[in-house]
Amino acid sequence: MATNRMPSLYIAHGGGPCFFMDPPAGYPHLWDRLAAHLKDLAATLPREPKAILAISGHWEEPVVTVNSGTQPPMLFDYYGFPPHTYQLSYPAPGSPEVAARVLEALQAAGIPGASNAVRGFDHGIFVPFLLAFPEARIPVVQLSLHRGLGARDHLTIGQALEELRDENILIVGSGMSFHNLRAMFMDDPRLTQASQAFDDWLTEAATAPPAGRHTHLAEWTTAPYAEFCHPRPEHLIPLMVAAGAGGADPGIRDYSDMLIGKAVSGFRFG
């Protein structure tokens, strides 16, 4: 098993521009542990990546699409936040060469792909990356989800991209392992129990031996309280890409927290 290749990651990206504004009243340290985890992320890598391939829960297309722009702009896809959060900047370059390599890997696996040279970085990318890679010098290429949001399909997409890890490309799926916005700010022990039951299942699935990992994750809707934790699965599906790209490498949970009584985890493969 390779030990010096880039890992693939599934990170939590928080809520909107959460790290750059005052936390909600009554929760002064809500985002502290997640912020610390993201700030420490680069130090856990075997070396600085040549590029980052990022998959956010905030971009869906009918065909899997890669951002091929040379200097992606900012895409402020959140609403109702303080004015200064619309002045954030993450000037990391894109990489048409890496984008082309991503399409090549997808097409070799029989997965149709497309490119988009004008789309900007959405907040699932620039918000966590401002903490994880603040110098913004590593090229970032964003890949969309397929609009069907099928877990098995995205595990297959991840499998097609695994070889990029041997080319010093870091694969990062960015979402939230709990994403019921209606319930997020309800401090209710029944909701805590539900989120913990799902998180326990998800952790067991993501850290299962690689031979069974895909089978478990593909059937995530059978997990306890799955549809409560994810009324729509777009923030969970980036995990499938990261897990698929994990190949035969073991999975570990490298982040765990309770956010207003909701269990949230992050995972690393390799």
- Read off the pLDDT of residues 22-64 as tens digits, 9 standing for 90 and up: 999 999 999 999 999 999 999 999 999 999 999 999 999 999 9
pLDDT tens digits for 209-268?
998 999 999 999 999 999 999 999 999 999 999 999 999 999 999 999 999 999 999 999
Backbone angles phi, psi at 43, to 5 degrees: -70, -15
Distances (CA, A) of 189 to 32, 99, 193, 196: 22, 45, 6, 10
Q: What is the pLDDT of residue 78?
A: 97
Q: What is the dihedral of CA 77, 102, 161, 126, to 10 degrees?
A: -30
Helices (H), 89-140: 96-108, 123-132
Residue 206 clears pLDDT 90, i.e. is over it = yes
Distances (CA, A) of 156 to 9, 97, 151, 182: 16, 22, 9, 31
Where does the pLDDT of residue 2 fall: very low under 50, low under 70, confident under 90, or very high at 90 and above?
Answer: very low
Give the residue-averaged pLDDT of 137-147.
98
pTM for this predicted structure: 0.97
Q: Which residue has the higher pLDDT, 185 or 60?
A: 60
Name the residue with tokens 């934790």: 229
pLDDT tens digits for 86-122?
999 999 999 999 999 999 999 999 999 999 999 999 9
Residue 143 clears pLDDT 80, i.e. is over it = yes
Residue extents of the structural domains in the chain: 8-269
Where does the pLDDT of residue 1 fall: very low under 50, low under 70, confident under 90, or very high at 90 and above?
Answer: very low
Specify the fold of 8-269.
Answer: Protocatechuate 4,5-dioxygenase; Chain B (3.40.830)
Residue 19 clears pLDDT 70, i.e. is over it = yes
Q: What is the pLDDT of residue 211?
A: 86
